[in-house]
Amino acid sequence: MYKLLRRFLSDNRGGSDILETAFTFPLMLFISLALVTGGLFAVAANNANNAANFAARRASVEQANPAGVAFNAAWSKLNQASVGDYTVSVVASGQRGTLVEVRVGYSVPNFFAGIAAFFGAEMPAELSGTAVSFFRAEGW
């Protein structure tokens, strides 16, 4: 038993592997959280941008109730999204040549908020943004 322990310690170079693990594990955890949080934010931003563009384009060619059509079009795209919380607002007068504006707000959880609170710093619990799309209303 003594020989086995002695061999383990000699192969372990005096415990330096344990120290390397103790230093690299928190760093790898931090990088992993950053990748997950950034990935969620990027996917939600892309979903919001696609929905805003789609809704504004649909409203720009609609003759009757363009705001309602844009709102429903945005939500039809966002219902397919599996990441994020969304809000939709539409400004459309229905007059030829006016701008149709669609705003899609999005938010995702911020996984760094708990870590920041542990170190005494404050971070928002959610990361949020807004995607805006404009199209000129067509008329015939």
Give exposure, 84-118, as e/b (b: 16+ Cβ within 10 Å).
bebebebebeeeeeeebbbbbbbbbebbbbeeeee
Average pLDDT value over all residues in the chain = 87
Measured between alpha carbons, how far is 115 from 99 in angstroms, rounded to an integer? 44
Kindly report the number of other CB atoms within 10 A of residue 11's CB atom: 8
Please check the confidence at residue 5 and state whether its pLDDT lies above 90.
no
pLDDT bin (cut points 50, 70, 90) of residue 36 is very high
pLDDT reported for residue 115? 83
Containing structural domain, residue 68 = 2-136
Question: Looking at the predicted structure, is the pLDDT value of residue 9 above 70?
Answer: no
Q: Say how many domains are in the chain.
A: 1
The stretch 38-53 carries a mean pLDDT of: 96
The pLDDT of residue 71 is above 80: yes
What tokens does 6 get?
């002695």
- The one-letter code for the residue type at 138 is E
Q: What is the pLDDT of residue 12?
A: 53
pTM over 0.85: no
Provide the residue count of the chain: 140
Separate counts of helices (H) and strands (E) for the chain: 4, 3
CA distances from 21 to 1, 7, 15, 26, 113 (A): 26, 20, 10, 9, 25
Q: How confident is the model over 73-132, as pLDDT tens digits?
A: 999 999 998 899 999 999 988 788 888 999 999 999 998 888 888 888 888 999 999 999
pLDDT score recorded for residue 55: 95
Q: With beta carbons less than 8 A apart as the criterion, state whether 90 and 51 touch.
A: no
Higher-scoring residue by pLDDT: 1, 110: 110
